Amino acid sequence: MRNIFKISLAVFLFLSSFSIFAQAPDVLSRAYAASIEASSLSSAVDDKIWLGFRFKEYPIIIFESKERNAIAINFNPPPANFKQVENTAISYGKIPPSEPLSGGLRAFNNRLVSFIDEKNLNSYPSARIIEEAFKLFEAYRGFNDQGSFLPGAYPFLNAENNALARCENLCLVKAMTSEVQDIKPLLSSFYLFRSKRLPLVPKEISDVENSRELIDGLASYAGFSALNEESKRAYLTDVMQRLSEYNKGGNNADKRFKDTGFAIIYLFEKLKFDYKGAVEKSPKNSLMAVLKPYIEGVAPKDTSSFINLEEIKSAELASATEKKNQIEQTLSSIKKAEGLVLAVKIDDVLKNTEGKLNWANWYEPEGLTYIEPDKIIFSRYFKFSSGEFFSFASSRPIYVEVRKNLTAGFAKDEIPFITIDGKGVEFSKDSPPVTGLVEIKGAHFEFKASKAKASWDYTTRTLTIEPIYENPS
């Protein structure tokens, strides 16, 4: 009878703990399971990852952006308004509205915390969680993080940069599948290509490259270290596949450094090199500071059997030229449209409404083409608005000069319907500027300003809209 009671009690406790977590939405169930797994794995690999690293000391938030639900790991006590679930290191709650919904390290609950968007947990969620914990470890250890690339700053269309970067990638892939005696010569070849490429990019870009390669690469390897052997094999295959594709036509040229860093660390491990000691003695801002002295005097491997540099350069030049032409064609279709060019000036209104109106911006990230960091083509969805005062929404290509102008172009057969103060208008050669409530509706496009000046330029068929904000009395 006593045994039956024990079994019943165990079942009751299990069901009770499960019911507590049942409050969490399904979208976080994978994050919760991965958090349990990461916590259980960590104790066996903490010191193997890096002497002094303790996963359970580093707080992590995994969130979903739709309802702002989140799981908190390694908080004691849990954050305000979070409820502890059956695992004492995990709690569940909602991210406060004042907190930005983005990944990365930042202060939260009076601690430095790593935030992870649930959709970015990838195919190895427990490894991803350990990876983020290691980034906190790096921050406290004094690793010199140079931040990330500014949007649009990376030279995606620099054909020579992409060609040499592809050679770097291929050297690492080859080394990862080679015998130990060939690894150092291949690392020397990698470094030779890197030395030729770095002068092609601004120093601020190369500084970020080196920083991301060290910090993200080491963190990626930390998560990898906790995987079982089958998962490790799959992980390596994924890394090599990505390395083989990076930089083709500028593909993810600014996102490869986590994988190049991982590959270098993986090769250091195969060579049984004490890279951790070397990193600790370095300025902690670049793996190149560790690699260079390690391969000093090692002749580069002949790469002609798996790299045709001239062929790669030719392919990248053709791709860059084609993409530049596409950008010029798109810009021309907008700024020199034969039907109507709509130019909305927003510089003055943003200055006049600073601190007075809340402006919001939505867009489809896959539809961005940067010409310069502050000059962008949005080829998919874009919306910029502020309540009832202003709304610009488009699912057609538009050209944006950040905080200055929004420009849309329309062909002759798709000129939108324009009203001012509710009345349809057509502009002629000598039409004077008109002020009032402006509404414009057309194919995949809507615009409204509760008050604006509309000016017509007959020669360029450009309608310039200047929104006017007046303080409510």
pTM across the whole model: 0.88
- Give residue limits of the domains in the chain: 22-141, 159-316, 336-467
What is the percent of the chain with per-residue pLDDT over 70, rounded to a whole number?
A: 94
* CB atoms near residue 271 (< 10 Å): 15
Using DSSP, state whether 71 is helix, strand or coil. strand
**What is the spatial distance between Cα 345 and Cα 404, in angstroms, rounded to a whole number?**
6
- The span from the CA of 193 to the CA of 83, in Å, is 52
Distance from C-alpha of 334 to C-alpha of 30, rounded to nearest angstrom = 44
Confidence (pLDDT) at 11: 39
Q: Report the distance separating Cα 333 and Cα 341, nearest Å.
A: 9
Report pLDDT digits (tens) over 410-444: 999 999 999 999 999 988 888 999 999 999 999 99
Query: Does pLDDT of 173 surpass 80?
Result: yes
Rounded CA-CA distance 55/132 in Å is 10
Q: Quick check: helix, strand or coil at residue 94?
A: strand
Give the list of residues 6+ apart from residue 166 with CB closer than 8 angstroms, or none.
246, 247, 248, 312, 316
Structure tokens given for 450: 């509760």
Tokens linked to 435: 């002020």
- The structure tokens listed for 423 are 């009345």
69, 79 in Cβ contact below 8 A?
no
- Using the Cα atoms of residue 218, residue 219, residue 225 and residue 230 in order, give the sign of their dihedral: negative
CB-based contact 243:145 (threshold 8 Å): no
pLDDT in tens, 49-98: 999 999 999 999 999 998 999 999 999 899 988 998 876 689 999 999 98
